[in-house]
Structure 1
């Protein structure tokens, strides 16, 4: 929990946490066994813009620190712009492109 900024919330129940904090707990649970690949389906879909950015910062830090492969589904173009590689599905066809404005390794 410390790695996602929730070290001080160890004894709290989910009902005592905000949506963003609950999302951080979910991220911590996904990372606890040091996976090689992390799959995330709309990890920021129900969050406000500020919390969305905080969660993406946490995910990006984990990706860089642990070198894991991070695959995320999103409809949020602001998040997609941060990715170093984009796979887009349109009319049943997958297109993969390198994103010049995305995060670096």
Structure 2
């Protein structure tokens, strides 16, 4: 348990597996009893985190720090973190869209 981490990576749209990505947002997920019971807003709508991008990557992981917290609480509280990425090639489009929204 101390040498491995749980991680999932889901590619949406036209994203290549080894394409350069830029992290645009992240969200903590809170669970109880080893991840069985979600607490709070755990249903993530990726569109709101990636500014409605067509191409993006969602990565959820359970890293060493999360395992440490889970171990200290004997598995009662089990946090994970979800990170949202946009391909580097799509970043200028995202920045332009954000600028248009702030100018209105």
Give the TM-score normalised by structure 2.
Answer: 0.22
Q: Tell which structure's C-alpha radius of gyration is larger.
A: 2
- Which structure has more strand as a fraction of its residues? 2
Q: Which has the higher contact order (CA 8 A, sep 6+)?
A: 2
Give the TM-score normalised by structure 1.
Answer: 0.22
